[in-house]
Every structure is written in C-alpha cells, then in structure tokens.
A and B are shown apart, each in its own frame.
Chain A
Amino acid sequence: MADDLEQFRRDTRAWLEANCPPEMREPVRSEKDICWGGRKWTFQSEAQRRWLEIMAERGWTVPDWPREYGGGGLSPAEAKVLRQEMASLGCRKPLESFGISMLGPALLKYGTEEQKQEHLPKIARGEIRWCQGYSEPNAGSDLASLATRAEDKGDHFLVNGQKVWTSYADQADWIFCLVRTDPAAKQGGISFLLFDMETPGVSTKPILLISGNSPFCETFFDDVVVPKDQVLGAVNDGWSVAKYLLGHEREMISGMGGRSLGPSLPELALRRAGRDEHGRLDDPVLRARIALFEVRSHAFAAMSERFLDRLKAGSVHPAQASMMKYLGTELNKDRHELLMAAGGSEALEWDSEASHGGAAARAWLRTKANSIEGGTSEIQLNIVAKRILELPEA
C-alpha cells in the first residue's frame, strides 16, 4: 500500500516534470496569472491554455472527483501526494473556480444524476464559470433572512430580488443562488437554484472596492424564469445544501492562510532591508515580527494538513471548518500587514509598472474582506463557541 503510494508519487512527479509548461511553474505574481475558465475567459498565454487542457484530460483539475464526472478518481492519499508534488515543483493550479471548491461538492452530494452529468464535467474542464448568490443587502451574517423570492408558477419558478457581494458575477456563466420559496418559514423556506446568467431578467453591476478593483457585484433578478429541474436538493431544503457548501467555502478561504502570491515574507523583507553583519534581516523588530508570524504560518500549515486528513477520514467536527476559516483569514490579513511593512514605501505604489499595478497594496486591501465574506470572523467564533464548546445561548 505504502509502496503503491510511493510509486504513484514517482509517476506523478515524472509526469508533472514532463508536462507542466515552464511558464506554469513560475510563481503567481498577480490575479491575472490565476486561470478561472468559463465562456468569457481569455487565456493569458498558450501555456495557461495547454496546462488547463492536459490537466483536465487527466481529471486532475478535480483529482478526487469520480472519473465519470470528469474527475481523476484519486484516493484521498493520492490526491494529497498530487498536491504535495505540485507544490514542491511549483506548479500552478490549472484552474481556480467556485464550481470546484464550492458547488461541485454540493452537486456530488445533493445533485440528481442528470444534474451531475450536466454540470460537473463542464466545471472540471473549466468551460462554465460559476458565481454564488447568497448575501443580500439586508441578509449578511443573518443569511437566513434573505428575501429574494422564487414564486412557484407550475413548471417554473419566477425569481425576483437582489443579491450583493456576488464574486465575479459579471464574468460568470451560471449562478447558484439561495431564494425564498416559502415566506412563512425562515431557514425552512429557502431553496437552492441553479441558472444561466444569460437568462433574461438577470443583470449585474460591479461594486468598486477600497482596493480599486471590482471583484464583487450587485446582481439583480427581474422576473427571471428558472425551470423546476434546476433546484439542487429538495424545494425548501436549500439551507442544508447551503450549509454543506459553506463548509467547503470556508475550507477554501481558510486555505488562504497558506502561501500567497509573490515572494515569501522573509524574501521580500530581505530585498528591502538587507542583512546585518551576522547575515540577519537588518531590521530587528520587523525580523522578530516576521519570525513570530512564520511560527504561526508553519503551525497553521500543520493545522490545515491535519484538518484535511481528518476530514477525509470522517473524524473532524463539522464546525472545525468555521475554526479553519477564522484562523486562515486572520492569518492572511496579518501576512499582508507584514508584507506592507516589509515593502515600505514601494508597497504603497498604486499604478506603477514596477509594482505590477499596485499589486501589494491592492492585495493588502483585498484581504480585509477575507474575514467578512463567507461568514465573518465573529460568526465563526459564535459557531465554534456553540457547536464545539457547547456554550449556552444568551
């Protein structure tokens, strides 16, 4: 068994070395280097296109999904080996998508056979890009109070309302969306709909953020017709699907606590501040702050490994996803505060070519949303306190 895994590791490494284009082993420098796929996607390079194609062909954009839905059919142990080997060779992820990290697991669990066959392979190949319609102007942390209505019109639903903070809605092809199908019940009156963003009545409006970018949109639904077979899970049971999916979203966001774009924090600091006569970073207080941060960062990497291992083994408390989300996002914010400190005045540049269009400053500002989106840190702590520590309600 262990021998088989070692053989798999050797084969995987050899295949990656032979097939991963050299450009796709360069560190990711800006958002543009991340491939999101979809009908509207423009590949940044031929290498980015080829890397997606050959990985999708092996099912390795979604290594642990079943083969019949476009996955690689790998065991958890093999998928871990693939992740490790890609990391050690510096291979970029061939495809980033909410379809993979969020919707896919929910489709696998709650989807009908037709829904799985319709949607999963297109996610795996990067053909359809999904966005998530959860938050509304008056339903943020208290998501279950959402008001977007889906009226039952016999063979279809008629959807009216507004979503907000819809990530990349303007670039997405389809949306998975929480709607109210029963105004009398709270959690129990919500359904989970899937529909094409090109359906008449859907419109989006980007929101300009403090980073100067617009990764989020307002999304409006005006008499949008959605066929009934596009409900995921049972009608009025969308909250179960949403909670399941939110667990996966939190895992994904918590993954941000790991390595991020560009040079590591110590590398960047050394580049800016240089070394003293002992070879140490010539800025002792910054060095100490970075070192203490790196302790947390390594420890969190172990936590992530342990969380994923226990998740696969089915032995993790489900509310630990909230803990991971809390830890990962707070760590990522700390990392970017230190990156700004290490970068000094050059990290403040907003447009210059040298700064890759203000990549450091914009990324720093972007991370402030990490502990808000997908449930705030405060909501995660509430969940840990109540569900794991079993502290009483107020």
Chain B
Amino acid sequence: MPLFLDAEQEMLADTVRPFIAETAPVAHLRALRDADDPAGFSRKVWRAFAGMGFTGVLVDEAHGGLGLGQVEAGIVLEEIGRNLTPSPFLGTAVGAVEALRHADEAMQGSWLPRIVSGEVVAALALDESARHRPERVALKAERHGNGFRLSGAKQFVAFGHEADLLVVSARTSGGAADEDGVTLFALPRTQAGVTVSAERLADVSMAARVELDGVELDGSAVIGEVDGGRAVLNRVLSCVRAGAASELQGVAEGASAMTLDYLKQRKQFGRVIGSYQALQHRAAHLYSELEVARAATLKAQQSLDAGSDTADRDASVAKAMAGMASGLAVREAVQMHGGIGMTDEYDVGFFMKRQRVLAEMFGDTDYHADLLARMEGY
C-alpha cells in the first residue's frame, strides 16, 4: 500500500476540512474559553460531527458507522487539530470505539449506535499518575458476587466529567506492574460510587480525576477477557497515540501556516522578514520535520489498519515524532510572531497550549522513545 492517501481518503479530507473550519474554527474555542464553559466542548458541534458520520468513522456498518480505519480517523483528527476544536473525538470515536470492538454484542449494541448518533460521549480512564504509565495498573477490581467491585483513582481523563461512558483499566489479579491480571471495564459515569472532578487545563479543555469507591459492576461490564485486558489496552493505546499524532499534526500545520503568512507580511528594516535567511532556514527545517512526522503518523495508521506486527512500534514512533515536530512548530510560531505572539488576543498562543496537552496525552516523546527502546530490546 503506498504511503499516501488514496482517492477516497482524499475525498474524505476534502469534505472534513471545510466542514470543521466552518463549524468549529479557533474562534469557537475562544468563545468557549471566554464563556468559561463548564463542559469545555460544545454538544452542538459534537452532534454536527455525528451528522456528518465522523463519530462513527471507526464503527462497523452493522452498528450504523462508516466502517473505516485509523487513517480516516486521522483525517478527522488532523482537522480538529488545525482548528483547535475542543472535542471528545479522540477518546470517544477512537479510544472507546476501539475498546468496544473487543466487547460482546450486547455491549456493542448498547453503546456504539449512540456514539454514532452523537448521543453519548466516552472517555478513557487509564492514567493513574501525572506521568503516563499505563503499564502500571493499581486500580483494583475485586470479585464480588457475580461481578466486581472497583476501587481506586484515575486522572487526566479528557472530558471525563461529561462522558457517559468511561473505559477503565483495572487490576483483577497480580501486582501493579504485572503484564497479566489487567481487565478493561465499561463503566457508566453515573454508577454509584463514581466521583468525577474536572479541572480546566492550559488549553481550555477539561480533564477529570475519577475516583471509584467500591463501584459495583456485573460481569457484563467486562470488555474482552478477565485478566486478559493487556492486549486490548495496548491496541487501544496504539490507536489513540496515532490519533493524537494526527491531531498534533493538525495543530502544527495550523500554527506553521499562520507563521508563514506572517513571515510574508511583516516588514522590518524595509523588508518582509520572510526574506531573511535566518528565518528561511528555520522555516524550511520546520517544514521538513513536519513532513517526517506526517509520514510516520500515516505509516502507523496504515500499520494499525493492516494489523501489521510493527503497528505498536509504528504508533510509538508516530507519537514521539509528532511530539517533537509539533513542539518545534508552536515554539517557532510564537518566536517568529514576536511580541504579538505573546498576546492573548492573537490566536497563536492557543496552538502552543493545545500542543502541550496533546504532546503529554497517551505518552510524550520521552515515554515513547523509552518504549521503543524496550520494544527493540535495549
């Protein structure tokens, strides 16, 4: 398969790009921020995404979705990134849907059609510490009657306070660092014993701490196999990592497009500043880095769609590379804009803040470089 979008994927991109630019541009983020909106995203925009089929991009056709792959989800995420659209898309349409693929038909039937219709929002509750360490799972799920009783805490749950469904990794046997003994649960947020407290992050989005205090779930809430959740968890993580890389790509492309425009307009010493070689070389270097990140991300998504045995590695490479390239993009954007780039009135700062959050989410560059080294045996 060639490493570029095919004709149908290009068509999808041509549909998604203007739609998101019109429905939820950066001004939409600013309006939510100025209103101190408690949800942190707009349900109206979410339903509009559903109306276009985006929320069901990965859902199979039997449950009303488009039945497409990670590449197509990435196309949507890139535009979400470019417009800084506050959206639970990554956690819901990629993370939860990917997890639910491994659930039984009853659970799929109860959640997937409502994700497709835009009625529900979901979130991944995986992190237990400030640094992303999903391989350590301490939140306990003890057997209780026919089901389980869950106790523990999760954090950095994007839009967890608004989510109807939480996908939770829990320890059903063994110690916190063991490979086996992890089980994934589908937990309705309104279940008794669930306490969710949300905090606003630097980028205006909301992330929740989720505390579970003896939450009772029956066996039907298990996604996949009891004690055998690690493989599903890894697959879900690889998909959301590649998805986050796409969103970062969009953030970076948006910031660098603004910057290039500025370099071509802003005059100092009687010349547009983009004619100075000192800035040209930095802009060309940044362009090169972004092209590499784009290739790495598409590679990961194609690998995930093809079920390639390098998919997890490719996803880590993508997230790590996207983190580096997009970080450079937003730093250069603010620097090259000069003083105006430091003002709240100007949009470029929003790109820097969103990049920081997405770079951290599901593991930053350092995490993935370390993971890559472990996967490659050193």
Contacts and interface: CB of A to CB of B under 8 A. Distances in A.
Interface of A: 266, 269-270, 275, 280-281, 287-288, 290-292, 294-296, 298-300, 302-303, 305-307, 309-310, 312-313, 315, 320, 323, 326-327, 378, 380-382, 384-386, 388-394
Contacts of B279: 391
Given A299-B296, A305-B299, A391 B274 contact: yes
A274 to B, nearest CB: 11
Given A309-B4, A315-B4, A381-B284, A299 B373 contact: no
Contacts of B283: 385, 389, 391
A291 B370 contact: yes
A296 to B, nearest CB: 7
Interface string B306-349: 00000001101110110010000000000000000000000000
7 closest A-B pairs by CB: A385-B280, A384-B284, A299-B296, A306-B3, A302-B299, A291-B369, A309-B2
A326 B263 CA distance: 22
Given A295-B317, A305-B3, A306-B298, A389 B287 contact: yes
B281 interface: yes
Contact of A299 (B4, B260, B292): B292
Contacts of B298: 302, 306
B301 to A, nearest CB: 11
A300 B272 CA distance: 33
A306 B295 contact: yes
Contact of A384 (B277, B287, B292, B296): B287
A297 B287 CA distance: 17
Contacts of A315: 4
Given A302-B314, A323-B291, A385-B283, 17 more contacts: A266-B376, A270-B378, A295-B369, A298-B313, A299-B292, A299-B295, A299-B317, A299-B318, A302-B292, A302-B296, A306-B4, A310-B2, A320-B291, A385-B284, A391-B274, A392-B272, A393-B275
Nearest to B320: A295
A275 to B, nearest CB: 8
Interface residues of B, number: 47
Interface string B335-378: 00000000000000000000000000000011011101110111
B288 interface: yes
A290 B320 CA distance: 14
A394 B274 CA distance: 8
Contacts of B313: 298
Nearest to B303: A302
A142 to B, nearest CB: 15
A283 to B, nearest CB: 10
Nearest to A390: B264
19 contacts: A280-B374, A280-B378, A292-B320, A298-B296, A299-B293, A299-B320, A300-B292, A302-B295, A302-B299, A312-B2, A313-B4, A326-B288, A327-B288, A381-B281, A384-B288, A389-B280, A391-B275, A391-B279, A392-B272
B285 interface: yes
Contacts of A296: 292, 321, 324
B372 A294 contact: yes
A315 B6 CA distance: 12
B373 A381 contact: no
* Interface SS of A by simple majority: helix
B271 interface: yes
B372 A389 contact: no
A116 B328 CA distance: 47
Given A287-B373, A306-B3, A292 B281 contact: no
A298 B288 CA distance: 15
Contacts of A384: 284, 287-288
A326 B292 CA distance: 12
A187 B97 CA distance: 59
B264 A392 contact: yes
A290 B378 contact: yes
Best-buried of B283, B296, B365, B366 by chain A (most CB within 10 Å): B296
B373 A291 contact: yes
A295 B377 contact: no
A73 B85 CA distance: 49
A327 B260 CA distance: 21
B378 A281 contact: yes
Contact of B369 (A280, A292, A309): A292
Nearest to B289: A327
B275 A310 contact: no
Given A303-B291, A327-B288, A389-B284, A291 B372 contact: yes
A143 to B, nearest CB: 19
Given A292-B369, A389-B283, A269 B295 contact: no
A265 to B, nearest CB: 9
